Structure 1
Amino acid sequence: MTESTPTNGGAKLKRTFKQTFAFPKNCVYRPLRQIQNMERNQKLSPEQPTYFTLNAPPSLRPAKKYSDISGLPAPYVDPHSKLRFANAEEYASMQHMPSDIINGYLTLRGYTSAVG
């Protein structure tokens, strides 16, 4: 049996379709931390954007809603008290709550309308 040998004398074949990565000669790459330190130390005008002042656009997804009582994901809202709840047990416990505790839960969430 004959052994198969490479056609170029044992050296690896050079593949011409692969390009080696090289940084451009006139471009300087800096890590984000270095850029932030440079921006802190410079005296920049307030209207010039920096990494600290750039804001992301608002999310297109709706905000997640959580239960006011347990913190679980809440698909339901009580129409009378406007409290969010996750299951029937929480709803049953909400029926026996006094209005001042319900108002406390609503103020924690940031809901401005009072229970009527």
Structure 2
Amino acid sequence: MAKSNKTSRSSGGPAAKRAKLDDTATPTSSPPHSRRSSDPPSTRHNPQVQQAISTAEVVQRLEISSVAKPFKSASYVPPKAIKKLKQMAALERMMDVGVDFPTYWSIQAPPSLMPQKKYCDITGLEAPYTDPKTSLRYHNSDVYQFIRTLQPQHVQMYLELRNAAVKL
């Protein structure tokens, strides 16, 4: 019984499948000179393999690398590789810089050139608007309506939180 299982397995292997495909494949209508004599018999009669071989031959004949590429600038230089923060920090530790020189590891840095962001006194979101009467900053019209209902002592408390308290 075990012997018959081995023979049935060997008959269903890749070689048997290849032979079965060769028997069922129809011969191609391409001329005999396009076939290579070095190809195994299974690839000579398979149309898909013949098409792949002919496509590969066409690509080899084109030699795309030798064709001039007018869309590419001759003066183009690829950008430098971006260093990761860990790499930059390691380089800074190895450098001998003064204490006053700002680095990624020092807290001291020059002042920002960007304008300081303004935040809403009520919600904490960015505040593009300022109430001219109370000088409270607000995010949108809903917050503005809330500001209009505030008593003066509450307005003063919000301004004190921002360190902009002015006695009204």
Select the structure with the greater relative contact order (CA < 8 A; seq sep ≥ 6). 1
Q: Which has the higher helix share?
A: 2
- TM-score after normalising by structure 2: 0.39
Structure 1-normalised TM-score? 0.50
